[in-house]
Amino acid sequence: MKSEVTEDQVREYQERGFVHIPGLLSPAEVAELKAAVLEAVEMMAGRKIAPGGIDRPDGDDRYYDQVFTQRINVSKLNQTIHRYIRGPEIGNMASSLARQPAMRIWLDQALIKEPYGNPTAWHLDNPYWSFYSRDAISIWIALEDATPLNGCLSFVPGSHRLAGYDNTDIGKELAGLFKVYPRMAETDPVAVPMPAGDCSFHNGLTAHGAGANMTRRRRIAMTAGFMPDGSTFNGRQNILPTAYFESLKVGDRLCDDTMNPIVGRA
């Protein structure tokens, strides 16, 4: 894994709210991680989230389920995924880009846009989560070539500076987010095609989305979200197990080292 981050990449991330990093994984590493992800996804048929968190059976939202096959916290089921996603290499990259001394992992997700899958509406990541931070960060790793034809990511540069914690659902209205934040619509989005093995990082308040998969093959990606150490509970359950969720009050630190361990330091 080529996990070095340059100062130019840090500046680009800070200024634009996202950065494309070529060649994170070698072809052999892509093959290894992709096989592990597909194995874990198969194990979780009928579930959205790995044991230990809130679950939602498939089919509760027919449109959403046609946007992508989403399986949350697959690293808890597979040691290969755990080694890649919860190891210090990616965590240290996240800490460096966000200029945060320490990062905890919030969640990881396999996101597979199936053949002819629906577009992913513009949205923000952090408002879904159980903490609010202007320094939350997500990684998106291409395990198949991501192209404009099969639904590569697009970002609105600088949108992390305009966003608050209001959000929209990933639903049928592609541009709903721009009704919440009209100024974002004044900036042209940037599409980021990625060969397999490349990755991008984006701020948890950066507007992003993806087009439809217009091909007959899957677009396979592995993602993770990270929170700065010291982040506090905002009252949202998101992926928190019910017993843990009910034990928290707003303002409590989210510092459970089993659920959300520190994975990176700048």
Distance CA 113, CA 152 (A): 10
Task: Decide: 72 and 53 in contact? Cβ < 8 Å.
Answer: yes
The predicted structure's pLDDT at residue 47 = 85
pLDDT at position 60 over 70: no
| Residue 156 burial (C-beta neighbours within 10 Å; 0-12, 13-18, 19+) | buried
Distance CA 170, CA 10 (A): 29
With 60 as the cut, is the pLDDT of residue 58 above it?
no
Q: If pLDDT is split at 50, 70 and 90, which confidence band does 50 have?
A: confident
pLDDT of res. 236: 96
Does pLDDT of 55 surpass 80? no
Per-residue pLDDT at 260 exceeds 90: yes
Average pLDDT for residues 130-155, to the nearest whole number?
A: 98
* Closest residue by Cα to residue 213 from 135, 114, 132: 114
DSSP result, 157-183: TTGGGT--S----SSS-TTHHHHH-GG
Average pLDDT for the chain: 95
Q: For residue range 84-134, list pLDDT tens digits in order.
A: 999 999 999 999 999 999 999 999 999 999 999 999 999 999 999 999 999
Helix (H) or strand (E) holding 89: helix 88-98
pLDDT score for 161: 98
Mean pLDDT across 149-163: 98
Distances (CA, A) of 71 to 93, 180, 182, 206, 246: 23, 28, 32, 22, 24
Q: How far apart are CA 26 and CA 102, in angstroms?
A: 27
Q: Of 39-43, 63-67, 208-212, 239-243, which range is least confident? A: 63-67
Rounded to an integer, the average pLDDT of 177-185 is: 98
Whether 187 shows a pLDDT value over 60: the answer reads: yes
The pLDDT of residue 57: 53
